[in-house]
Chains A and B, each alone.
Chain A
Amino acid sequence: MTRSVSENVVAPMARGTEQRDTYLKGLIQTVKGGVPADLALPELRSRAEALLKEQTFPHTRQEDWRFTDLSPMLDIAFACADGPQGDTTDIEARRLPETAGAQVVVVNGQVSPELSQLGGLPQGAIVGSLRDLQNHPIWSEKLVQRLGQASGHHDVFTALNTVGFQDAVVVWLPPSGVMETPLQILYGAEAADTPVLAQPRCLVVAETSSALTLIEDYWGHASTAYFTNAVTEIWLEANAQITHSRLQREGSGTFHMAKTVVTQARDSQYIGTAVDFGARLSRHNWEIYQTGEQTTTKLYGLGAITASQRADTHSLVALSHPYGTVDQVHKAIVDDKAHSVFNGRMVVAQAAQETNASQLNRNLLLSDKARIDTKPQLEIVADNVKCAHGATVSQLQADEIFYLQSRGISAPQAQRLLIYAFAMEMLETIPVATLRSRLTKILAQWTGA
């Protein structure tokens, strides 16, 4: 599945508005060149392109990108990545026993039917590539009303994905469809000799009273430049339930831009856990929009970064209906010269009475060269609500280390133990046992415990 690779259109010049505009134009041309003929989607893509043309490549003078500098990307001309080829051992190692028969493998943004293993789906459920669904009745009836339609679709990287995604994973649960087996989507990044970009896309629609456990796993080994621009759209209809685990373990040369947008209808429940271990620079925009009352939303985030990694999470919970419940905890461990950014925005509109929302952001700063920027942001108009947020930045507590030392545990060991415990609180929210234990191992290695 080799696709045409567009030419590098970026010319070196001063880092100004002009350079950013040219760079973005170059990216648009590159991703447009990679669009397969059988997935033209002219209406959707041209709208996204029009939105993109009004924007520039993000820079730190914009409030949303104030702490995350993307200018290193400006030096790199990315070409579209090729589809799956070569080594599959990596993939085998990442399959979970719990998800047997419910695994979709995406390599460089394209679904690989050969590597995916699907069987035992509930009646009426659809899991697979968007390209196989064009003649399916849901295409015209429902799919076009969902794909690329969620709020926030105008963001630069989201629109860029819409302009040029080469394939998409579609997960569709019929009313009352309950998927007993957790669904695992593996997104692999296969490095090439030259810098490449891949744009994985996923659309999940859970119709009334359906339920799903979803695992999204992004990984790669690329120590050379690689650009992942992922978008996942999740729609929960009335009374639907989704438990979502999102792991990002990309290679050390990767720029990982991601958007997870969740739209919740009345009485639905979304529990999400996002773990960021990898990438040179990662940015996760996690957005929750409410379209009905009495929704439940739980967001758990963990970032553990070191060396000169950058990890940025921007979450948005927009409440516009009564009786919503939100519980959010985001934790970051930052070592060496790494830089962690968190912006947690909660908007409670006037109609969202009786909302109960809490947000906690905790950060562990382990080195003097590391840096944390955090902004828990509340915007409230409704008066009958309970909203609280908190943020802390600190190192490990001396008395806690002393307590462990007094029980015969060495200081370095005590330190590792405390970091491990700090992070485990987030990992424990992952419902799949094997995955949890694998991540625990990674964490243990990370802390050296």
Chain B
Amino acid sequence: MSTSVQSLVTQPYKYGFKTDIEADAIPRGLSEDVVRMISAKKNEPEFMLEFRLKAYRKWLTMAEPTWPNVNYPPIDYQNIVYYSAPKAKDKKLGSLDEVDPTLLDTFEKLGIPLSEQKRLANVAVDAIFDSVSVATTYKEKLAESGVIFCSISEALQEHPDLVEKYLGTVVPIGDNYFAALNSAVFSDGSFVYIPKDTQCPMDLSTYFRINNGESGQFERTLIVAESGSSVTYLEGCTAPMYDSNQLHAAIVELVALDDAAINYSTVQNWFAGDENGKGGIYNFVTKRGLCAGKNSKISWTQVETGSAITWKYPSCVLVGDNSVGEFYSVALTNNLQQADTGTKMVHVGKNTKSTIISKGISAAKSKNSYRGLVKMGPKAAGARNYSQCDSMLIGDTSSANTFPYIQVQNSTAQVEHEASTSKIGEDQLFYFAQRGISPEDAVSMIISGFCRDVFNKLPMEFAAEADKLLALKLENTVG
């Protein structure tokens, strides 16, 4: 593997453009007043302000975690804009036609057409631009089957009881430093409620876009699946290229009641910084699903390719008997990216099952760590876990680490963990060359094969996109 080829330019980040739009932003910095201001701007019910203030006060007492295997200069939390929204017209938007066309163009450019004629046929999209939700498609059609899919701000106005009942039940406000910060200042996000015995008629999707160079994004997603219901949810993210680092601290909470199933897929492609590590998003995210009911199931699938730093552990708390947690992940790091990601499977109920498949690919000078926890509680009789984490190293300056924690307190529980490390060998490339396949194609085929277990779990459109995305990201890293 010649280093000269490796040093060739990588594919430019094609979502790096910036939209010039007048923004309604609050001054930099964080204080109790800022928290109150955000709450007031969104005209939130009283309990929400209480929630935010409690979180803010908790946050002040906490310290930033230092255990992840990542390095970054200290973040100045007073130098971040905590709320930024495209300037809205005075009245509330009635339909898509009233949305600023620049915004619609932006999303169209990102491949997410929102307008009636062009929107994706079978996917409902909630588009979030900086701190606010711009539009949600197919709302009416979903409402026919009783499904609520809207921005969380809207949900706070229209379904405050539901939000109050579930918000913060899976990720408590003081769960960790970034979760507390998010709980204090979160601006928008998606809210999904699937009523009893309903299979959501179409896939739901949220598209996140950070535009303002000084703002952080703090979104909050809450999905509640009532007993017997099921839903597939997709999430995509991009951001323009800036020289400075931006903070993205999101929370996703999933609640699955008896016999419910939630499928949550993410393709994360935030701006990763340039090849010298300048700029990029700090992606510090808390995602957790609660299998509260019997026979419930939560499945996380993630393809992590962007962000300067990723710190993210989508987890499942398996409380209901016979509940199932799944985690399928591909994490790719290139240049100077750092990723410390993995999952936590906490088995509480009887006969709970979890599967973890994690594939890490590290190229150039990047750092890729898998950190996972499998915990079998004393009452988790008959619980099972299978974990597999494979790493692939491209070039000898990248690193791949695994930190799997296994804690077992029940003798009938069974845990299996496997991990391996490999590289794309010259002999493999030679084998492909013999058959007339160029090194570039060979690499992309090997990687696609390496990740197949995970891609198979993605919804169709996403799988194709993910495959392409990885190929682009790694172009010219191997020769």
A and B bind: yes
A383 to B1, CA, bound (A): 11
Which residue of B411, B416, B420 contacts A365 across the interface (Cβ within 8 Å)?
B411
Q: For residue A386, give the distance in angstroms from its CB to the closest CB of chain B.
A: 7
Partner pick for B404 among A63, A377, A382, A388, CB 8 A cutoff: A377
| A378→B421 contact, CB < 8 A | yes
With contact pairs A368-B378, A391-B417 given, residues A381 and B399 touching in the complex (Cβ less than 8 Å): yes
Q: Which of A366, A368, A383, A394 has the most CB of B within 10 A?
A: A383
From known contacts A350-B397, A389-B419, infer whether A377 and B411 are also in contact, taking CB-CB under 8 Å: no
Q: Which residue of the partner chain A has the closest CB to B422?
A: A386
Q: Which residues of B sit under 8 angstroms from A390, Cβ to Cβ?
A: 416-419
State which of A370, A389, A392 has its C-beta within 8 Å of the C-beta of B415: A392
B406-A373 in contact (CB<8A) = yes
| B271–chain A nearest beta-carbon distance, Å | 26
Q: How far is the CA of A226 from the CA of B122 in the complex (A)?
A: 70
Interface status of A353 (Cβ within 8 A of chain B): yes
In contact, B407 and A388 (Cβ under 8 angstroms): no
A353: chain B residues at CB < 8 Å are: 396
Interface string of A390-406 (1 = CB under 8 A from B): 11111100000000000
Write the B405-435 contact mask toward A (1 if CB under 8 angstroms, else 0).
1111111111111111111010000000000
CB contact between A395 and one of B403, B409, B411, B422 (< 8 Å): that residue: B411
A367 with B411, Cβ < 8 A, contacts A380-B421, A391-B404 known = yes
Contact A393 B415 (CB under 8 A): yes
Q: In whole angstroms, what is the CA distance A8 to B396 when docked?
A: 54
Query: Whole-angstrom distance between the alpha carbons of A391 and B416 in the complex?
Result: 6
Contact check, B415 vs A383: say whether CB atoms are below 8 A apart: no
Inter-chain CA distance A395–B395, complex, in Å, is 41
Expressed in whole angstroms, the Cα–Cα distance for A375 and B401 within the complex equals: 12
Residue B341 CB within 8 A of the other chain: no
Complex Cα–Cα for A377 and B342 (A):
14
User: Of all chain B residues, which has the CB nearest A379?
Assistant: B401
Name the A residues within 8 Å of B418 (CB-CB).
388-390
- Asked if B378 contacts A378 (CB within 8 A), the reply is no
| Chain A facing B: main interface SS | strand
Selected from A363, A371, A385, the residue in CB contact (under 8 A) with B421 is A385
- Chain A residues whose CB sits within 8 angstroms of the CB of B421 once the complex forms: 378, 380, 385-388
Q: Specify which chain B residues have a CB less than 8 angstroms from the CB of A162 in the assembled complex.
A: none
Q: Which residue of A lies closest to B372 (CB)?
A: A375
If A374-B406, A377-B404, A380-B391 touch, does A392 touch B416 (CB 8 Å cutoff)?
Answer: yes
Complex Cα–Cα for A63 and B378 (A): 23
Residue of B nearest to A339 (CB): B409
B423 and A393 form a contact (CB under 8 A)? no
A85 sits at the interface (CB 8 A): no
Contact across chains for A372 and B399 when beta carbons are under 8 A apart: no
- CB of B428, distance to nearest CB on chain A (Å): 12
CA–CA, A389 and B398, complex, Å: 20
**B402 close to chain A: CB less than 8 A:** yes
In the complex, the answer to whether B67 meets A377 with C-beta atoms within 8 Å is no
User: Contact between A372 and B408 (Cβ–Cβ < 8 Å)?
Assistant: yes
* Candidates B409, B415, B422; contact of A371 at CB < 8 Å: B409
Do the beta carbons of A382 and B396 come within 8 Å of each other? yes
Report if A434 contacts B (CB, 8 A): no
Contact in complex: B408, A375 (CB < 8 Å): no
Q: Give, as a whole number of angstroms, the nearest-CB distance from B346 to chain A.
A: 14
Q: Is A376 an interface residue (CB 8 A)?
A: yes
Q: Known interface pairs A391-B415, A394-B414. Does A384 touch B423 (Cβ–Cβ under 8 Å)?
A: yes
Asked whether, in the complex, the Cβ of B414 is within 8 Å of the Cβ of A393, the reply is: yes
Give the Cβ gap from A63 to chain B, nearest Cβ, in Å.
7
Q: Which of B378, B402, B410, B420 is the one whose CB lies under 8 Å from A377?
A: B402
- Pick the contact of A376: B396, B404, B413 (CB < 8 A): B404
Q: Is the CB of B405 within 8 A of A368?
A: no
Chain B residues within an 8 Å CB radius of A370: 409, 411
Residues of B within 8 A of A382 (CB): 393, 396
B454 within 8 A of A: no
| Given A363-B408, A368-B410, A373-B406, A388-B420 contact (CB < 8 Å) | yes
Question: Chain B residues with Cβ under 8 A from A378's Cβ?
Answer: 391, 400-402, 419, 421
Residues of A within 8 A of B401 (CB): 377-380
8 Å CB contacts to B: which residues of A343-373?
Answer: 350, 353, 363, 365-373
CB–CB A395/B423 < 8 A: no
Task: Report the nearest A residue to B390, measured CB to CB.
Answer: A388
Q: Assuming A368-B410, A390-B417, A392-B417, is B404 touching A383 (CB within 8 A)?
A: no
Q: Which residues of A contact B81 (CB under 8 A)?
A: none
Known A383-B423, A388-B420, A392-B417; contact A368-B411, beta-carbon cutoff 8 A: yes
Closest partner residue, chain A, to B379 (CB atom): A368
Whole-angstrom distance between the Cβ of A308 and the nearest chain B Cβ? 14
Q: Which residues of A contact B394 (CB under 8 A)?
A: 383
Residue of B nearest to A349 (CB): B399
In the bound complex, CA of A388 to CA of B394 (Å): 17
Which of chain A's residues have a CB closer than 8 A to the CB of B402?
A: 376-378, 389
User: Chain A nearest CB: distance from B352 CB in Å?
Assistant: 15
Query: Inside 8 A of B399's CB, which chain A residues have their CB?
Result: 379-381
Contact: B415 with A63, CB < 8 Å?
no
Q: With the chains together, A40 CA to B404 CA distance in Å?
A: 44
How distant is the Cα of A384 from the Cα of B422 in the complex, in angstroms?
7
Q: Which residues from A are CB-within-8-Å of B415?
A: 391-394
Q: Which residues of chain A are within 8 angstroms of B378 by Cβ–Cβ distance?
A: 368-369
**Interchain CA distance A37-B401 in the complex, whole Å:** 48
**Shortest Cβ distance from B395 into A: residue:** A383
Which 5 pairs from chain A and chain B are nearest by CB? A383-B393, A393-B415, A387-B421, A391-B417, A381-B399
22 intermolecular pairs with C-beta atoms under 8 Å apart:
A365-B411, A368-B378, A375-B405, A377-B404, A378-B421, A379-B399, A380-B401, A381-B396, A381-B399, A383-B1, A384-B425, A385-B421, A386-B422, A389-B419, A390-B418, A391-B406, A392-B415, A393-B376, A393-B406, A394-B413, A394-B416, A395-B411
Q: A382-B396, A393-B414, A395-B414 are in contact. List 19 more A-B contacts (CB 8 A).
A: A350-B397, A366-B411, A367-B411, A373-B406, A373-B407, A374-B406, A376-B419, A377-B402, A378-B391, A383-B393, A383-B398, A383-B423, A385-B421, A385-B423, A386-B421, A388-B419, A391-B416, A394-B414, A395-B411
